[in-house]
């Protein structure tokens, strides 16, 4: 499916997944016990930390595929700077050569909606493993859903949550609803050098003309420079509460 076929800003419509790149060695070739990792972020731009999170989850939790999801709309932020197509291209460049990584878009941004979209696009009985940092996990678990118990119950009926310490150690929110699902929330190892890598910081530094080559892959750095992304004058601060 082309990346733009599922674009919508209408949250009342069913969530839909669109594929930009399909993993040739993903869950589709696994007959049973399928394990799909999902890393959802703005990828503005995709950083070395994003790739490290995906690879750590793939390695430590024996996943068959990792799907990098770029939501068309974000429930907690506005996205400026790089257009969606440019971010997809950078995601492709950063993960090029990894046969178990897919890239897609989703019309909705909440994890529960991404769950529904993935369920419609992947084989039945595929277990989902959402990959997050500490900040995103805390936001997911304490989001003001219309019915938090129902939303978290539906989410954890289909998925596990992998949480990496990022800019501080993850602490399980002390609420009865969250504690009920503590067994579905797992620690995700992440090398310390990635814990403070932030797309917001990268954009800010690029706008100042500073070097960020150690924070993104060489191919992504080349793309940013070639297309003059994140130049001075763009809004480099809109997703300060976002993922890495």
- Taking only the tens of pLDDT, the chain with its 244 residues reads 334 334 444 667 899 999 999 999 999 889 899 999 999 999 999 999 999 999 999 999 999 999 999 999 765 555 567 999 999 999 999 999 999 999 999 999 999 999 999 999 999 999 999 999 998 999 999 999 999 999 999 999 999 999 999 878 899 999 999 999 999 999 999 999 998 899 999 999 999 999 999 999 999 999 999 999 998 754 433 443 344 5
Residue 214 CB neighbour total at 10 angstroms: 9
Residue 231 has a pLDDT of 86
Domain count, the chain: 1
Closest among 133, 124, 131, 189 to 160, alpha carbons compared: 131
**Which run of H or E residues covers position 55?**
helix 48-60
Rounded to whole angstroms, the Cα distance separating 77 from 219 reads 27
What pTM value is reported for the model? 0.88
Residue 6 has a pLDDT of 42
Domain presence at residue 1? no
Domain presence at residue 205? yes
Domain presence at residue 122? yes
Domain presence at residue 243? no
Domain presence at residue 240? no
Q: Which domain holds residue 121?
A: 17-226
| Sign of the torsion formed by the C-alpha atoms of 125, 126, 131 and 136 | negative
Cβ proximity of 244 and 191 under 8 Å: no
Domain presence at residue 10? no
CATH classification at residue 119? 3.40.50.620
Secondary structure of residue 32 in the 3-state scheme = coil
Beta bridge partners of residue 71, listed in sequence order:
106
Domain presence at residue 31? yes
Domain presence at residue 141? yes
């Amino acid at each position: 499916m082309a990346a733009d076929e599922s674009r919508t800003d209408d949250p009342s419509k069913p969530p839909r997944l669109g594929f930009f790149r399909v993993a040739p060695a993903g869950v589709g070739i696994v007959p049973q016990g399928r394990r799909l990792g999902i890393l959802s972020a703005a990828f503005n731009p995709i950083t070395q930390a994003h790739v490290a999170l995906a690879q750590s989850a793939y390695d430590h939790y024996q996943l068959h595929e990792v799907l990098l999801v770029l939501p068309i709309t974000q429930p907690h932020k506005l996205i400026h700077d790089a257009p969606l197509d440019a971010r997809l291209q950078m995601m492709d460049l950063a993960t090029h050569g990894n046969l178990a990584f897919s890239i897609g878009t989703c019309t909705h941004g909440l994890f529960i909606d991404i769950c529904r979209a993935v369920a419609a696009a992947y084989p039945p009985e595929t277990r989902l493993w959402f990959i997050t940092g500490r900040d995103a996990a805390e936001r997911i678990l304490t989001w003001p859903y219309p019915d938090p118990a129902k939303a978290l119950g539906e989410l954890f009926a289909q998925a596990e949550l992998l949480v990496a310490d990022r800019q501080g150690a993850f602490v399980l929110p002390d609420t009865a609803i969250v504690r009920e699902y503590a067994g579905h929330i797992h620690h995700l190892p992440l090398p310390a050098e990635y814990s403070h890598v932030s797309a917001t910081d990268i954009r800010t530094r690029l706008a100042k003309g500073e070097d960020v080559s150690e924070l993104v892959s060489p191919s992504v750095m080349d793309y940013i420079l070639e297309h003059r992304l994140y130049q001075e004058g763009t809004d480099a601060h809109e997703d300060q509460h976002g993922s890495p």
